[in-house]
Amino acid sequence: MKENRPSKIIQSITAVFLAAFVLLFAVAFLITEKQEFSEGENRYLEKFPEFTFSSLKEGKYTEKLQSYLSDHFPMRNLFMGLKAETEIALGKREIGGVYIAKDGYLIEDYAAPKNTDKIVGQFEKFAESLEGAEVSLMLVPTAITIYGEKLPALAPVRSQLQTRDEIYGRLDFSTIDCYDALMGAKKDNELYYRTDHHWTGYGAYAAYTTYCEAKEIVPLPLDRFEITEVSTDFKGTVYSKLNDAKIKADTITIFENTENRLTVYYEDKKETADSLYNFEYLEKKDKYSMFLNNIHPFIEITNETADSDKELAVIKDSYANCMVPFLVNHYRKVYVFDTRYYRGGPSKFINENRQITDVLLLYNMNTLDNDTGIGGIY
């Protein structure tokens, strides 16, 4: 029986179009300039892997090559957005570890911790290495814990509080629980961004009041701050995992005590500023980086109008960046360490500067398990 001629022509045309489509993408991949950093995802992209027979045998070369191809695929963000939009329209409520929650929230899942023993060990060694300063630890629950009621029904959520309590229970120094303060404050303001993994200034303020209570400091009331909405089009790191243009943007609000007289010194850049905010980042995708001018290994902040002569060292992840503006009101100097990049461990600096009375370790629970900075605190 002869094959239908029109059918054969259609098959041929389809094959030509598919071949042309593949060729087009191959050419686009080869000629497109490869980016080192994705501003949309706020991360460095995979570099082309170096080939060795050992890496090929172990499977590492193939794994890294796949990551490289995925990171640099032409129009990657467009296809990610179309995929997410389609899945949401079909009723899917979890995409790539992100829950499509109520009230427009995108909430990251919390993975089971694997490095608790190592983390506890690092915290213990750091505290034991200090010769005079009083150290406190604050582990901050994220939106998946504070806004659990917004999650889709039957979402399998692991307990951040259980992990936090296990860590706190194994340490011999001061630990600060900000959970109750966050739960009490959530009825009044948004404590976490809907499209980003960070807390907002209101969330940081709630935790700041808890810190003050633990340190017997009188916190400043909210009406002492000039509260300003500086952006209404912020789409953060969690949004970037989906890239669905229909998702509503966040508002960034900052809190300034206009009576403060600040000098902010960024050691890596050898630059000085008089503000804790870099407003230039509001013109970029990663607007959260306006807090403390993004990432720096070491920052020294002097406040001439602080209500004490005490000095504080903050060892932290990026959650602390919008809490520091509250802490500076009570310390003449605040030293901020990002131990992902600060070399040598901060205890040597703290012990050599005996005027430092307090040390705050501040990390969020969602990224604690994989935070490379934990390895650098001691």
What are 245-265's pLDDT values in tens digits? 788 999 999 999 999 999 999
| pLDDT value, residue 79 | 47
Q: What is the DSSP letter of 219?
A: P
* DSSP class per residue in 19-46: HHHHHHHHHHHHHSPPPSEETTTTEEPP
Residue 270 CA: distances (Å) to CA of 38, 212, 260, 297, 307: 26, 31, 22, 12, 27
pLDDT in tens, 198-215: 999 999 999 999 999 999
Q: What is the pTM of this model?
A: 0.81
101: nearest Cα among 165, 199, 193:
193
Taking CA atoms, 296 is separated from 65, 144, 341, in Å, by 30, 28, 7
* Predicted pLDDT at 75: 53
Q: Quick one: CA dihedral 303, 306, 310, 313, positive or negative?
A: negative
- Give the C-alpha distances (Å, rounded to integers) separating 43 from 46, 363, 371: 9, 19, 14
Interval 21-26 mean pLDDT: 55
pLDDT of residue 216: 97
Higher pLDDT, 373 or 332: 332
**pLDDT beyond 70 at 72:** no
Domains of the chain, by residue range, sit at 104-376
CA pair distance 345, 211, nearest whole angstrom: 24
Average of per-residue pLDDT across 90-108? 85
Q: Tell me the C-alpha to C-alpha distance, in Å, between residue 53 and each of 48, 50, 58.
A: 16, 10, 9
∠ CA 296-374-185, nearest 5°, is 80
pLDDT in tens, 290-323: 999 999 999 999 999 999 999 999 999 999 999 9
Give the mean pLDDT of the chain: 87
CB 298 within 8 A of CB 270: no
